[in-house]
Structure 1
Amino acid sequence: MKIKYSAFHVLAIVAILLSSCSMNNVEQDNSFKKYFDENKVNGSFALFDNGRGKFVIYNLKRDTTRILPASTFKIVNALVALQTGVITTDSTIIKWDGVQRNVSNWNQDLSLAQAFRYSSVPHFQEIARRIGRDTMQKWIDSLKYGNMKIGPAIDSFWLDNSLQVSPDEEMGLVKKLYFDQLPFRKGVQKAVRDMMLQEDNSNYTISYKTGWGFNGENHAIGWVVGWIEENRHPYFFVLNIETADPEADIPAIRLNILNGILKQKGFFEGKM
């Protein structure tokens, strides 16, 4: 079921909160709900067609509700690290602290690009400590990222619910990143875009960063934020999911939902 909103109704609800794009048309598509139901999670999804200025949303209320960013904050963490010189290039090695963790890829020295690819929490915690509280706060304020609250711990504020950001704000961030519109050097933005690239073939390229954390109710939160490009035409997306099930396979579920929705919308065939 698709519900079209009047321009007045859209502006009344989202003029302030939906800062990610200038919308000529906003549509809520409740047909996406089946993907969340099939995977037994709640959540939201938004897709922005940059060329046509068309914004499609499932669950508008959640799309504008702030939640912990989890590892999607690695986008900002990497940008700040490269901009400030704390990390010189994406090949700069961050030493492993020697603590054995349940993700085997984290138990080794990693370059920035590898740490980003493996979404290594301890390596990015070390990067945040090197950046320092004052510098990190300056950049978060500059970006107006979410509620802009670091909280007491410089190395876990994106995981402990101090920092919170809405799905819409996350989309706004990656849209600006794609177009070199963030307050970082263009080379820095390109480096982070390159690290976000997941697939590149003759039909499409898709770039994103995932996230997985727990909110104040100890519900698992999953994220995927990025863009898919076909025929040099970018479409920006953000997926957020939530479940109280401690056994839920968040990495699999979030990609199942993302791929299902994008396939329904006609992606992956190079025809968009």
Structure 2
Amino acid sequence: MDVQAVVDWFDANARDLAWRAPGTTGWGVLVSEIMLQQTPVARVEPIWLTWMARWPVPSALAAESQGEVVRAWGKLGYPRRALRLHAAAGVIAADHGDVVPADVDTLLALPGIGAYTARAVAAFAYGLRAPVVDTNVRRVVARSVHGAGEAGPPSTTRDLADVDALLPADHATAARASAALMELGAVVCTARSPRCVDCPVLSTCAWQRAGRPAYTGPSKAPQRFAGTDRQVRGLLLDVLRGSAEPAAKSRLDLVWADSGQRDRCLDSLLVDGLVEQTADGLFALPGEH
């Protein structure tokens, strides 16, 4: 693959996203990366802007209650991410001078920070050469390099090696290439209806040269939301986010008819630390009673 062609395309076509603005700190990039996990850009951007205005440095978020952080997370989904970000902010404030570290291994030692996020922060915040692999990058590599319609099941070792082999040697260009590969998969080399005519590596794409064969490997079952525990957990949290006082169980019971599923979800929220029960049996966001 001609990675420089992808970088040139990115330089001319990159989306104007808030966290890409000049001067965005490592903290701003870290917050964006946590929010963007399994969540579309359009939903993340307004909440990211609100968070950065309210908590511009890790210590500001760390000083906030867990309950208020969960409330501010709003409708982004997977709210445990909010608690992990709060925990990481505390460590960054206490141990790293309120500055998000640049080193991948140091980032990995932070609470709730995985391999993808650590590499993304190193590359996108600090311009370091760190292979960043997400679903979009895997799809671009699968098609353009391997001639497959989809990437198939992930393999951390193989996927990182594939991307590492594509990155230029110098840090700045490699970091730009990581962002470019991800953008290409997000807006052009999409899972459905790829816009191949707009692709900067169309002429060398192995998938195109092979006649765009259909993917025949193992497929991932589509995720549904309606009726799942995720939906019920969200409805329960909505009640508590909108309440200034701890809520009685009878209020929570109104959000979902299936009492078994509803109680199971409430129990899971308690176990995850997203909800706490008061001494008198009411329910509240953590630290808000």
TM-score by length of 2: 0.25
Q: Which has the larger radius of gyration?
A: 2
Instruction: Specify which structure has the higher proportion of helix.
Output: 2
